[in-house]
Amino acid sequence: MDRVSATSLESFAKHAIEAFGADAETAEIVASSLVTADLVGHTSHGCVRLPYYAEQVEGGAVDPTAAPVVESAGEFDQLAGNSAFGQLTGHRAVELLVDGAREHGIGVAGIRDSGHLGRIGEWAERVVEEGFLFVSWVNLQGGSHRIAPPGTAARRLGTNPVTFGVPTFGALPFPLVFDAATSQVAHGKIIERDGSDERLPDAWTITESGDPVERAADFEDGAGALLPLGGRESGYKGFGLAVVAELFAAIVGDGPVATQERQGWAGNGGAFIALDPSSFTSPEDIRTRVESLAAHLRSAEPIGDEPVLLPGEPEHRTAVERRADGIPVEANVGAELRALATHYDLVSELPPSLG
Ligand code: NAD
Mean pLDDT along residues 327-336: 92
Output the pLDDT for position 355: 79
- The model's confidence at residue 221, banded by pLDDT at 50, 70 and 90, is very high
The mean pLDDT value of the chain amounts to: 95
Q: Ligand 1: does its nearest atom lie under 6 Å from the Cβ of 190?
A: no
Q: Rounded to whole angstroms, how far apart are CA atoms 46 and 188?
A: 9
Q: Ligand 1: does its nearest atom lie under 6 Å from the Cβ of 131?
A: no
- The model's confidence at residue 239, banded by pLDDT at 50, 70 and 90, is very high
Q: Ligand 1: does its nearest atom lie under 6 Å from the Cβ of 52?
A: no
- For the segment 149-177, what is each residue's pLDDT rounded down to a tens digit? 999 999 999 999 999 999 999 999 999 99
Mean pLDDT along residues 319-343: 95
What are the distances in angstroms from CA 224 to CA 174, 195, 207, 234?
A: 37, 18, 4, 18
Cα of 346 to ligand 1 centre, how many Å?
Answer: 32
Contact 99, 30 (CB under 8 A): no
Mean pLDDT along residues 83-90: 96
Output the pLDDT for position 261: 67
Mean pLDDT along residues 45-53: 94
Output the pLDDT for position 265: 60
Cα of 181 to ligand 1 centre, how many Å?
Answer: 6
Output the pLDDT for position 263: 55
Q: Ligand 1: does its nearest atom lie under 6 Å from the Cβ of 350?
A: no
Alpha carbon nearest to ligand 1 atom 23, residue:
180
The residue whose CB lies within 8 Å of the most ligand 1 atoms, and thus the one to mutate among 44, 116, 120, 189, is 120
User: Within the chain, what is the greatest distance between any pair of CA atoms?
Assistant: 55
Contact 144, 58 (CB under 8 A): no
Contact 81, 112 (CB under 8 A): yes
Q: Ligand 1: does its nearest atom lie under 6 Å from the Cβ of 162?
A: no
For residues 259 and 320, the model is more confident at 320
Cα of 344 to ligand 1 centre, how many Å?
Answer: 32
Output the pLDDT for position 163: 98
Q: Rounded to whole angstroms, how far apart are CA atoms 322 and 310?
A: 19
Mean pLDDT along residues 22-26: 98
From the list 344, 316, 354, the residue with the least C-alpha distance to 50 is 344
Q: Ligand 1: does its nearest atom lie under 6 Å from the Cβ of 117?
A: yes
Cα of 226 to ligand 1 centre, how many Å?
Answer: 15
What is the share, in percent, of the chain residues with pLDDT greater than 70? 97
- The model's confidence at residue 72, banded by pLDDT at 50, 70 and 90, is confident
Output the pLDDT for position 266: 64
